[in-house]
Amino acid sequence: MLRRAWRRLAWYVNGLTERSKCTCYLEHERSVHPDREPMSEREFRRTHYADQDANPGARRC
């Protein structure tokens, strides 16, 4: 039961920090594009946030 609660908390925190998007990106790059170097987590966040600023979509803030 404690393990399940810990996993749910980790999932929630990873979603808030968008770490799951970075992990998904890295998995994609390694499986689909093994010949090229993936961006670092820092570069990924920079690019992701720049894209969000350029295309805000339905965000409220």
pLDDT digits 0-9 by tens, 3-56: 999 999 888 887 777 778 888 899 999 999 999 999 998 999 899 889 888 887
Is position 5 within any domain? no
Q: Does an H or E element contain 57, and which?
A: none
HSE-up of residue 35 (Cα within 13 Å, Cβ side): 0
Is position 23 within any domain? yes
Is position 59 within any domain? no
Total domains in the chain come to: 1
Is position 44 within any domain? yes
Q: Which domain holds residue 38?
A: 18-52
For the whole model, what pTM was predicted? 0.60
Is position 57 within any domain? no
What is the C-alpha to C-alpha distance for residues 50 and 4, in angstroms, rounded to an integer?
A: 35
**Amino acid occupying residue 19:** R
Is position 6 within any domain? no
Residue 60 has pLDDT above 80, yes or no: no
Virtual torsion, Cα 55, 43, 34, 23, nearest 10 deg: -80
Is position 8 within any domain? no
